[in-house]
Structure 1
């Protein structure tokens, strides 16, 4: 079983990723921390608690609220995609557990340092909490086996022509993370835009169980759909953890642009020309989209709700 911590900004695709992670027997979600991104951190925290409560009925996973703002640049949300609440489409219970009183950074430091084995940190929002953690408590680096991060693109972005949303939200935090020396797997738009959940998959899951209906309803409320389906970007991090054989990764050096019209761009040294052959990330460049859809349907079918 893989012990993981999820740092996220739910968000529809974060919610779907958390739903799968909470239910898969190969994963142990030890802590969830939240950050502003898709919507403000007060809302992302409530959304994380809603998903955990939906599946756990009081036997909760601890949740700690984190950064309200990026390190440097002004905050811009994605409510136009996810709705004002960040997770429209389904009516969840309002009888929720409370988040931890400690901050996300304090909770991350405590949990990581207390783990007997190195832990995987799954990042599906902006990386502000992670940058603060690595800057304030550099000793955690040796206790992290890797960071699996949804974000970035080697090609076109989805926030600007160059920048993917998670990195664009806080490029200065992304730069700190990629320069930290912690092993990083970058799951970017190069694969998440290929692995669409098809309309057929969404039709199937809504009739499987209560969880399938919930996921169908929030996913089909996503404002970033195409006629071929919807990209559940963050779910790809969980797919990678469980089925790395279905993704192709390449080691390369990733630089983060933090100024100018390309602010938030992830620049991959694809030719290995500028960093003396050194790399700081394994970058996903291809994915088996059909396998992704089959896997997602199986995960939903096996959910206990």
Structure 2
């Protein structure tokens, strides 16, 4: 039996309750070597996402490098999602005082570059928030792109949106950044919003998680304040999808297709055109999850949370 090779990983994130779950899963997995976390403004302000990342890592006893991300989109004002995640972004649990430091002097794109060039093997880049910093990294360091193994994103919508009529929050917050990302030529995999709604954590599973040590108790408390579903109807898992696409891709049905981002529409800016029927006549630039085995995902999710209890 051969040992799995650690996979150097960078996470761009805007915690956010479901982001916190995704980060913890990545830190608890024996395959993922999370070397850099860049909190960005999105669900709440960058000051809050930085603090939330520090609180989470302190709670988990981890010391991963944290570098401040962008405080606003490239060209547009920030529209946060505190209505879903609460005023702080991680309401509901009395975290211990944050002790993990954060680098506020190095731009996130520079920190990404430093991490990529420091590794001998290709790096996995994960985006579970607005794509501003990833776009800046792509723009500023095109020579690094050959060292990116894959870019895994949670974002976009196969149909209707949750930020605008046709725009999903992560891509729609910074459409210009999303467009840069999908035009980059990187190997991209995407878990869109609808797949997160399929990947529900049902009530009996939430009860199981509640009793997985202090980590399970923390997650249960956070989800009591989460407005992405409910304990009664099932919790929608969004950002954890990105981790599952890396760690258990057999959960998903993926389709190679072209993804275009609308940036000029008066009413449709931020829409992700996931061209499953080839209307645009353009070659594929992403592998998009169009379905998830919800039972398999739920089982994987419980196992992943259990691993965080060993941190």
TM (norm. structure 2) is 0.94
2:115 aligns to what?
A: 111
For 1:95 and 1:69, the matched residues in 2 are separated by: 24
For 1:260 and 1:291, the matched residues in 2 are separated by: 40
In structure 1, list runs of 5 or more residues that go unmatched.
none
For 1:219 and 1:251, the matched residues in 2 are separated by: 33
Q: Is the 1:2–1:28 contact (alpha carbons within 8 Å) kept by the matching residues of 2?
A: yes
User: Residues 230-245 of structure 1: matches in 2 within 5 Å?
Assistant: 230-245=235-250
Alignment partner of 1:69 out of 67, 72, 90: 72
Q: Helix, strand or coil: the match of 2:67?
A: strand
Alignment partner of 1:214 out of 207, 211, 218: 218
In structure 2, list runs of 5 or more residues that go unmatched.
1-5
For 1:175 and 1:275, the matched residues in 2 are separated by: 17
* 1:129 Cα deviation from its structure 2 partner: 0.3
2:97 aligns to what?
A: 94
Asked whether 1:55 is paired with 2:60, we answer yes
User: Residues 205-284 of structure 1: matches in 2 within 5 Å?
Assistant: 205-226=209-230, 227-258=232-263, 259-276=265-282, 278-284=283-289
1:104-139 CA distance string (max 9 Å, x none): 111111101221111110100000001111111111
* Paired residues, number: 302
1:151 aligns to what?
A: 155
Q: Helix, strand or coil: the match of 1:193?
A: helix
1:50-90 CA distance string (max 9 Å, x none): 1111112xx50000001011011111000111111111110
Q: Is the 2:8–2:119 contact (alpha carbons within 8 Å) kept by the matching residues of 1?
A: no
Q: Is the 1:190–1:284 contact (alpha carbons within 8 Å) kept by the matching residues of 2?
A: no
Q: Helix, strand or coil: the match of 1:268?
A: strand
User: Residues 130-141 of structure 1: matches in 2 within 5 Å?
Assistant: 130-141=134-145
* 1:42 Cα deviation from its structure 2 partner: 0.9
Asked whether 1:34 is paired with 2:36, we answer no
1:203 aligns to what?
A: 207
For 2:192 and 2:110, the matched residues in 1 are separated by: 28
2:129 aligns to what?
A: 125
Alignment partner of 1:299 out of 286, 296, 304: 304
For 1:134 and 1:7, the matched residues in 2 are separated by: 13
Q: Is the 1:167–1:174 contact (alpha carbons within 8 Å) kept by the matching residues of 2?
A: yes
Deviates more, 1:136-145 or 1:267-276: 267-276
2:49 aligns to what?
A: 44
Deviates more, 1:173-182 or 1:183-192: 183-192
For 1:80 and 1:291, the matched residues in 2 are separated by: 30
For 2:98 and 2:276, the matched residues in 1 are separated by: 49
2:175 aligns to what?
A: 171
Segments ≥4 residues shifted beyond 3 Å: none
For 1:120 and 1:151, the matched residues in 2 are separated by: 17
TM (norm. structure 1) is 0.96
Q: Helix, strand or coil: the match of 2:153?
A: strand
1:188 aligns to what?
A: 192
